[in-house]
Structure 1
Amino acid sequence: MKNVFLLLAFSLSIQAGDWPRWRGASGDGVWNPEKVPADFAAQQPQELWQADIGGGYGGVTVSDGRVYVLDRPKEPADIERILCYAAEGGKHLWSHQWPAVYGRMEYGTGPRSSVTVHEGRAYVLGAAGMAMCLEAASGKVVWQVDTVKDHGAIVPTWGFAASPVLDEKRVLLHVGAQPDGSVIALDQATGKPVWQGGPDPAGYSTPEIITHEGTRQIIAWGPEHIQSLNPETGATLWTYPYKITYGVSIAQPLYRDGILLVSGYWHGTKALRPDAQPTLLWENEKDMCGLMSSPLYKDGTVYLLDKKTGLQAIELATGKILWSDDNTLTPKDRNPQMSLVWLRESVGLAALLNASGELVYVRLKPDGFEELARHQIIGKTWAHPAFVGNRIYARSDTSLVAWRLWPD
């Protein structure tokens, strides 16, 4: 009975409003607002406010009426910042900056990760390796750790991109510390090291905690392996080889129905059963290649953005491709991108922010998709937006915007 009440409370917290971390409260792209319009085509979004910001690919997070985003201004040079705005009205509340020399970092526009907010504190990982904890209301620094200098982390080609993940009293950072520190765990209160583990260098995928047959595992997808770590100690539970061209392990793995699905741009998709000795259930190296966009799941079907054909529906158990959208929901591109969120998961309603900055409402089913409406809300973007109630908060390399999507 206790577990039932906990599950109910967790579900209500998701619907209540905040988007406090990468991909929302539950970390899996679920929005589920209390009220949803009957006719999306009849709704005209209203822009509420806009703020000028610097460059970056990191997503937006919202907690307790405050909006958080990381950026890199053009002046002064060689710094990163965390910016905080009032969700209502867009007033700039506070900011904090720190040194961040990118050097030859590819796509060096700005930070890649999202701020994680929990119990009045904001946790940050910059593209060059600076990690910190700040008071969420004021921006006062609680602790700051340079993972490169202090832990031997090695900055990958495109900079650190994984958002901080909180687990009990630990904050997990995917930074490729040396030796055997693909993930490091720091004490949330002090920033002091708790453990480090995993054989791979840093990839770009945010770690994910799953429970498979009663065993909790950290899934940390690196450029050479799919890794499973013990959340308490960092010990390696298992690894599965998956060496990736240019090390682009980016999209978040998906775990459902006892199956772990991982999809990459160069070498396609693998579906594993994540036992102590993992078993490959199926793979598709050519026709099912994700990149940055993390997939959605419902009732045995995965919705994944493929680099060639656009959004696909895939039968998780078998790997059968059910349909593709032929690049209609986001523009065909060498590096296609689209953030996918369940608007009303129970009936297959999704909200997609594509690379052109268009918000697209769509109904996703195993036998096809139906586009309901689309609206231009921002310029070109690869960053994940935040959805809170009937509002969206999105960013580009120049702007942070807030829109009311339907009447209060």
Structure 2
Amino acid sequence: MHAPPPADHESSLPTPASRVFPLPHNPTAPSLRLALWIIALGVGEIVGTWWLVPNSTLQIASLFLGPPAIGLALLGWLLFGLHIGWKKRVGLVLWFVGLATATGVLVDRSVYVSFGFQGLPLATIASTLSAWLLQRLLGPASQRLVILIIPLTLCPWLLLGSDGTTGESLPVFRWRWQLSNEQRWLRRTKPPTQTTASKDERTLVGADGDWTGFRGPRRDGKVTDIHLQADWQQHPPQQIWRREIGPGWSSFCVVENRVFTQEQRGDSECVVCYHASSGELLWVHEDRARFWDAAGGAGPRATPSFFAGRLYTLGATGILNCLAAGSGKLEWSVNIAQSNQAPIPTWGFTGSPLVWRDLVVVCAGGNQQQSLIAYDRSNGRRRWASGNIGAGYGSPHLATLHGVEQVIIIDDEGASGYELLTGRGLWQFNLGGIPGDKTLQPCLLDQQSFLVGMGNGIGTRLLQCNRAGDDWRIEQRWLSKGLKPKFSDLLYHQGYIYGLDGKVLVCLAGDSGKRLWKGGRYGAGQLMLLGDNLLVTAENGALALVAAQPDSYRERGRIKGLEGKTWNHPAYARGQLFVRNGREAACYTLSQSP
């Protein structure tokens, strides 16, 4: 017998895809290998920075600049690789630019930024790869089809709308014909046509346990004289009321039995008063103003401040009001942007007014000594103005450093201290970073030191204030990359620091900045200290109770508190927890230990 012939070595190898689905060789088509390398390197850079350096400036830059870079590189690959005349190449570019411009004009306003940074580059990628495939298959006959492919890659963006972004700057898409949360609410709630004042003319005087402004009376987010039932399985929070409200990122001010907040109602920016026990609407003050941005949407950002029977509020466009807290009657009003030649910040005015003695202090961000402004709280007249730096997104913060009462402001460049009586600048510390990333309150440790946290890869600093007569100096004691809060404020409790590093809760040692633990996933939420527990409002609306202890992370309970994206700070007064977002507000009671 004859032995069988040896098997063909090549026939035993896997069959290349090009032999299963053969593409005709076309010398006029550019090489695909370079295009694949462009895509692989570009996508790899975006994914790599997303995972390796989260919450950093590099991550944000790669998200917004990476896709355009890939698109431009592929466009260059196609134009210079195609063996066609320059007139046709220029015509193809002009056709794409014209269609992209028309699409940019016609897209829904809410997706304009996403279209520019992600949609347009993705359309460029899809168009160039489609053009290559058609050129490879059909040769010169593909040119008319390429002209038709380009609008097909752009048109889908005409179908999209957006409800803003997540805390990680990712767009939240919806169909364009679907109503936004605000539009649905307005269909069910008639916007006010005029200010609705309460018939109750009595003056609110306040009482112990009031939550008189942003993050409480001291702006530190702490309630120490409380002992909660830590077992939420046996003693969960009990909902007292829930109601729909207008959009905005304001928190609550709670005085006696009144709850004050700010919200957008159609074209009116409103200060609203609800009954603390029932959620019943008591009065509304409106200003014809509307602020909107693509990330946060519509509505005011600051929180009302209560002092001696009056309410002081700052709208996102710069309207500073003084209202009678009992009735909502307007006492005086001034526009801090117009009167101080200050631009409206990119994300609107967010700083809640600080009331000290007979002054109301706000950050306008104007130049020529018109950055930090103090008004007479009784009549709205300007008492002093100081500073030349643009506004940040934190609120003026009262502090006593080395026995001197002063206001600390985190402006667009760093941290600064000003004498309250005169507005004289005392000290300044440059924080670096990029414009728009200074959003948090300083977190005071004692009369000599405080924390400043920043996201975008910067981290949390411990700054120490030194004084020799009139000479003030700020030095950095440590910088921790283990806690990079974007817009979630810090808490300091018994020598330890708690905050959200991106979306993960962490604990740092106060003396060194060393990270002791991290755990949980809360998104761009907020924190409050209730006794020995952290109350966390997660970005998705969940409420969680976490032990404020340095040895380990331990979540003690979690409930679904609100529906929708929740960036707002919670408020607590006399056993009641008040939470809200841009869609709804709710009140819960928290069980306390006997």
Normalised TM-score (structure 1) = 0.88
Runs of 4+ in 1 over 3 A off after TM superposition: 13-16, 32-35, 103-106
Matched residues, percent identical?
31
In 1, Cα distance between equivalents of 2:478 and 2:237 = 42
CA contact (8 A) 2:575 2:590 kept: yes
For residue 72 of structure 1, give the secondary structure of its aligned residue in structure 2: strand
* Residue identity in the other structure for 1:406: S
In 2, Cα distance between equivalents of 1:241 and 1:36 = 40
CA contact (8 A) 2:367 2:389 kept: no
* Residue identity in the other structure for 1:282: W
Q: Over residues 39-93 of structure 1, what are the superposed CA-to-partner deviations in whole Å (9 max), with x where a residue is unaligned?
A: 33311332222222110111112112101110112x3x2x200110111112211
2:261 is the alignment partner of 1:69: yes
In 1, Cα distance between equivalents of 2:453 and 2:237 = 34
Partner of 1:216: 405
Partner of 1:291: 486
The equivalences for 1:241-320 within 5 A come to 241-257=430-446, 258-266=448-456, 267-275=458-466, 276-284=472-480, 286-307=481-502, 310-320=504-514
Which structure has greater helix proportion?
A: 2
CA contact (8 A) 1:33 1:389 kept: no
In 2, Cα distance between equivalents of 1:399 and 1:279 = 43
2:580 is the alignment partner of 1:395: yes
1:341 to 528, 532, 539: 528
Partner of 1:6: none
In 1, Cα distance between equivalents of 2:539 and 2:497 = 21
Q: CA deviation at 1:197?
A: 1.5
In 2, Cα distance between equivalents of 1:160 and 1:166 = 17
Gaps of at least 5 residues in structure 2 are: 1-204, 467-471
In 1, Cα distance between equivalents of 2:320 and 2:216 = 21
Which structure has greater strand proportion?
A: 1
CA contact (8 A) 1:15 1:34 kept: no
2:214 is the alignment partner of 1:22: yes
In 1, Cα distance between equivalents of 2:292 and 2:272 = 23
CA contact (8 A) 1:14 1:25 kept: no
For residue 339 of structure 2, give the secondary structure of its aligned residue in structure 1: helix
* Residue identity in the other structure for 2:304: V
Q: Cα 1:105–1:207, aligned 2, differ >3 Å: closer, same or farther?
A: farther
In 1, Cα distance between equivalents of 2:292 and 2:542 = 32
In 2, Cα distance between equivalents of 1:293 and 1:103 = 21
Q: CA deviation at 1:244?
A: 2.7
Q: Over residues 383-408 of structure 1, what are the superposed CA-to-partner deviations in whole Å (9 max), with x where a residue is unaligned?
A: 01211222111112121212223389
CA contact (8 A) 1:14 1:32 kept: no
Partner of 1:4: none
Normalised TM-score (structure 2) = 0.61
Gaps of at least 5 residues in structure 1 are: 1-12, 332-336
* Higher RCO (Cα < 8 Å, 6 or more apart): 1
Partner of 1:99: 288
For residue 148 of structure 1, give the secondary structure of its aligned residue in structure 2: helix
Q: CA deviation at 1:281?
A: 1.1
In 2, Cα distance between equivalents of 1:144 and 1:223 = 26
Partner of 1:3: none
2:251 to 56, 59, 63: 59
Q: CA deviation at 1:268?
A: 2.1
In 2, Cα distance between equivalents of 1:99 and 1:200 = 28
The equivalences for 1:109-258 within 5 A come to 109-257=298-446, 258=448
* Further displaced range: 97-106 or 55-64: 97-106
Tell me how many residue pairs correspond in the alignment: 381
Q: CA deviation at 1:302?
A: 0.9
For residue 368 of structure 1, give the secondary structure of its aligned residue in structure 2: coil
In 1, Cα distance between equivalents of 2:465 and 2:298 = 36
Q: Over residues 213-237 of structure 1, what are the superposed CA-to-partner deviations in whole Å (9 max), with x where a residue is unaligned?
A: 2122211111212111111111110
CA contact (8 A) 1:84 1:92 kept: yes
In 2, Cα distance between equivalents of 1:216 and 1:192 = 22
Q: CA deviation at 1:105?
A: 7.0
Q: Cα 1:57–1:104, aligned 2, differ >3 Å: closer, same or farther?
A: closer
Q: Cα 1:52–1:112, aligned 2, differ >3 Å: closer, same or farther?
A: same
In 2, Cα distance between equivalents of 1:313 and 1:51 = 34
In 2, Cα distance between equivalents of 1:63 and 1:372 = 30
Q: CA deviation at 1:103?
A: 6.4
For residue 435 of structure 2, give the secondary structure of its aligned residue in structure 1: helix
2:545 is the alignment partner of 1:361: yes
In 1, Cα distance between equivalents of 2:221 and 2:207 = 12
